[in-house]
Amino acid sequence: MKIVAISDTHGKHKGLKIPKCDILIHAGDFSNVGKHDEVERFLKWLVKQPAEHIIFCAGNHDLSFDYEPDFKEEMLRKYVWGTTPSNTKIHYLEDSSIICKGIHFYGMPWCPKFGNWAFYLERGSKELKDKCNAIPLDTEVLITHGPPHGILDLTYSQDYAGCQA
């Protein structure tokens, strides 16, 4: 089985050449700041990728998916849940899971607050711990936008951006 994983394309997805694969994962930041046209361009590109299944979650730059639930629902209805051929292969995960090709995937966009972006919860908060504790124990592939605390999460300012929970 071939799985391709990408993230942080920030609207520059058209420059990528995605190889044919069984599962394509995009772990967030598909847009710069979540502008409607950025999101729609990304989703139009995503549905054309040569993967049997495509799984994605949002990231901290995908502001409209956090702050504009009506827009997010419209985009998901049009490109994921809708009546287009894409609806059988694209899966958006936000505190949810799916089994693709026998593998249990779980996706969540939440990160400890670091700056002023989307899908942030206060570091050490009960809400953030609850989000992490809700991850099913039988999850085989966890898709998050943020890293765990202390693992490749050191920022330019020498702060840790990762999640301790």
Beta bridge partners, 124, equal none
Alpha helices in the chain (DSSP H): 36-46, 63-67, 69-76, 126-133
Q: Is-contact 65 37, C-beta < 8 A?
A: no
Q: Is-contact 162 150, C-beta < 8 A?
A: yes
Name residue 121's amino acid. L
Q: Is 102 left (phi over 0), alpha (psi -120 to 50) or beta?
A: left
Q: Which residue has the tokens 């972006």?
A: 117
Entry pTM: 0.92
Q: Is-contact 105 143, C-beta < 8 A?
A: yes
pLDDT at 147: 87
Q: Is-contact 127 121, C-beta < 8 A?
A: yes
Segments of the chain with pLDDT less than 70: 82-87
Q: Is-contact 95 57, C-beta < 8 A?
A: no
pLDDT at 51: 96
β strands within 8-147, DSSP E: 21-27, 51-57, 90-92, 96-100, 103-108, 111-112, 120-121, 141-144
pLDDT at 10: 96
pLDDT at 6: 97
pLDDT per position as a tens digit, 6-30: 999 999 999 999 999 999 999 999 9
d(CA 92, CA 73): 11
User: CATH class for domain 3-144?
Assistant: alpha beta
pLDDT at 84: 55
Q: Where are the domains of the chain?
A: 3-144
d(CA 46, CA 74): 16
